[in-house]
Structure 1
Amino acid sequence: MKFSITDSKNKTFNLPINPKEFNIDAATDDKTVSMVKLGQINLIGDEKLKSIEITSTLPVKTANVHYLSTKTVYKNGQTYLDKLNKLYKAKKPVRLVISSTKISFKGIISEFKYGMADGFSDEYAYTLKIGEYKAHKAKKVKAKKKSKKTAKKGKSRSKPPKKMGRGSKVTVNGRLHRDSAGNGPGATERNATRKISLVAPNAKYPYHIATLSGGARGWVSKSAVKAV
Structure 2
Amino acid sequence: MAQTSLFFTDRINLTYELPMTPEEFTVSSDGGNTKVDVVNLGEILRLSPATSLQEVTLTLNIPVDLSRRRAYWTGKKLRWTGKTGGNNYVKLLKDWHINKEVLRVVLTNTPFNDLYVIDGFTSGFKDGNIDEWVCELKLVAWRSYKPKVLATKEVADKVRIRTTTARTNPAGKIGVGSSVILNGRVYADSYGNGGGMTFTNRQMVVTLVAPGRAMPYNVGPAAGQYTGWVRAQDIRLR
TM-score by length of 1: 0.61
1:94 maps to 2:114: no
1:84 maps to 2:93: yes
| Residues in 2 aligned to 1:90 and 1:6: alpha-carbon distance in whole angstroms | 15
1:67 maps to 2:72: yes
1:128 maps to 2:137: yes
- 1:72 to partner: Cα distance: 1.6
C-alpha spacing 1:38/1:145, structure 2 compared with 1 (3 Å): closer
Deviations 1:55-98 (A, max 9, x none): 12000101223321012222221010111111111112111011
Secondary structure at 2:129 match in 1: coil
| Residues in 2 aligned to 1:146 and 1:29: alpha-carbon distance in whole angstroms | 39
Unaligned runs of 5+ in 2: 157-238
Q: Which of 112, 118, 128 matches 2:121?
A: 112
TM-score by length of 2: 0.58
Secondary structure at 1:121 match in 2: strand
1:28 maps to 2:37: no
- 1:139 to partner: Cα distance: 3.0
Paired-residue identity, %? 27
1:52 maps to 2:61: no
Unaligned runs of 5+ in 1: 148-228
- 1:134 to partner: Cα distance: 0.6
| Residues in 1 aligned to 2:55 and 2:138: alpha-carbon distance in whole angstroms | 7
Structure 1 equivalent of residue 192 of structure 2: none
Letter in 1 for 2:93: L
| Residues in 1 aligned to 2:35 and 2:117: alpha-carbon distance in whole angstroms | 30
Secondary structure at 1:94 match in 2: strand
- 1:142 to partner: Cα distance: 2.4
Letter in 2 for 1:66: A
Larger radius of gyration: 1
Secondary structure at 1:116 match in 2: strand
Letter in 1 for 2:91: D
Structure 2 equivalent of residue 15 of structure 1: 18
